[in-house]
A and B are shown apart, each in its own frame.
Chain A
Amino acid sequence: DIVLTQSPLSSPVTLGQPASISCRSSQSLVHSDGNTYLSWLQQRPGQPPRLLIYKISNRISGVPDRFSGSGTGTDFTLKISRVEAEDVGVYYCMQATQFPQYSFGQGTKLEI
């Protein structure tokens, strides 16, 4: 099974400042089809998760461009260029390379 390890688990941030979250996989997330199925989810307090980014760096429609994803193989990063108040919540990385089995990182709590 693929294990995803996020760091930090908690990230105090200042409004207007950048933030970065790391996700490391126990094995390469490159699928046999050449794609890397690593996504980032945001869960605001009291809400279900929502998809922000898929296949490392593809933003879902409506997601602000201050969110960006990068990485290759086993190491991935979610960056927020300038944190806004609405960004508070928990962020999860998720792999779908091993579909139909999914796995998630432990979550990183972003707090002001």
Chain B
Amino acid sequence: EVLLVESGGGLVQPGGSLRLSCAASGFIFSSYWMSWVRQAPGKGLEWVANINQDGSEKFYVDSVKGRFSISRDNAKNSLFLQMSSLRADDTAVYYCVRDLTGVGIDYWGQGVLVTVSS
């Protein structure tokens, strides 16, 4: 069974930093692209960033470029999102998701809430 479990969320002040983690299991983690998708309270879905299998390719939505950094540790089956210079509009549930070639996003974690507020 594919499992994606996020952690590291919480309350942070504007301008602060936070690091999200995602523990993956039930599949060969190193064989898949992985992404982060977020959902602001009561709003729709927004793709944030993704990373290829060996971490050599990374892509970001324009609104987080230069502030967020995606990375992975294949030895530990883990995905990360380092977030800095956080703003109120970064407040959202952040989902760790698996990318499947030929399909798109096929599995979602339960999500972790990040609240940026003073």
User: Which A residues lie at the B interface, using CB under 8 A?
Assistant: 35, 37, 39, 41, 48-51, 54-55, 60, 92, 94-96, 99-107
Contact = CB atoms under 8 A, between A and B. Distances in A.
B108 A102 contact: no
Contacts, number: 63
Contacts of B108: 48-50
Nearest to B52: A100
Contacts of A60: 106
Interface of B is mostly: strand
A107 B45 CA distance: 8
B95 A37 contact: no
A75 to B, nearest CB: 19
A43 B57 CA distance: 29
Contacts of A99: 99, 104
A49 B107 CA distance: 9
A104 B11 CA distance: 27
A107 B40 CA distance: 13
A54 to B, nearest CB: 5
Contacts of B104: 37, 39, 51, 54, 94-96, 99, 102
B110 to A, nearest CB: 6
B47 interface: yes
Contact of A55 (B59, B102, B110): B102
Contacts of B45: 41, 49, 92, 94, 104, 107
A72 B44 CA distance: 24
Which has the most chain B C-beta neighbours within 10 Å: A48, A50, A103? A48
Contacts of A104: 44-47
B44 A106 contact: yes
A74 to B, nearest CB: 17
B102 A100 contact: no
Nearest to B109: A48
Contacts of A41: 45, 105
